[in-house]
C-alpha cells in the first residue's frame, strides 16, 4: 500500500501547508495592524491640524483685539481729558469783571 517514504512525503506536505497558512495568517495580522496604525496617525494629524488652526485663529483674534484695545484706550483717555477740561470752572467776562459760572 503506502511505503514509509510516501507517508513521510504526505506528512511533510501537510506540515508545509500548515506552515504556509501560519505565515500567511501572521502577515495578514501584521498588515491589519499597520493599517490601523496608519489610520490612527492620520486621525492624529487631522486633530493636530484642527488644533493648530484653532490656536492660529485665537492668536489672530487676540492680536486684532489688542490693536483695537489700543485705539479704544486712546479714545477713552481723550474723552476723559475732554470731560475733565469741560468740568473745569468757566470764567466769563462781564463788563470788565471776571465772573465764575459755577
Contact criterion met (CB below 8 Å) for 16 and 8? no
pLDDT at residue 6 in the model:
94
Tell me the C-alpha distance between 20 and 16, whole Å: 6
pLDDT of amino acid 82: 81
Q: What cell does 102 get?
A: 459755577
Contact between 87 and 102 (Cβ < 8 Å): no
- Domains of the chain, residue spans: 4-87
pLDDT in tens, the chain (102 residues): 889 999 999 999 999 999 999 999 999 999 999 999 999 999 999 999 999 999 999 988 888 777 777 778 888 888 888 887 877 666 555 555 665 555
Query: 98 with 91: CB under 8 angstroms?
Result: yes
Note the pLDDT of residue 66. 77
Calpha distance 56→51 (Å, rounded): 8
Amino acid at each position: 500500500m503506502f511505503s514509509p517514504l510516501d507517508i513521510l512525503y504526505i506528512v511533510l506536505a501537510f506540515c508545509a501547508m500548515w506552515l504556509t497558512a501560519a505565515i500567511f495568517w501572521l502577515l495578514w495580522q501584521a498588515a491589519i495592524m499597520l493599517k490601523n496604525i496608519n489610520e490612527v496617525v492620520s486621525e492624529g494629524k487631522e486633530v493636530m491640524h484642527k488644533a493648530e488652526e484653532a490656536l492660529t485663529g485665537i492668536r489672530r483674534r487676540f492680536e486684532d483685539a489688542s490693536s483695537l484695545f489700543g485705539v479704544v484706550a486712546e479714545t477713552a483717555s481723550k474723552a476723559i481729558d475732554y470731560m475733565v477740561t469741560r468740568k473745569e470752572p468757566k470764567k466769563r467776562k462781564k463788563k470788565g469783571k471776571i465772573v465764575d459760572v459755577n
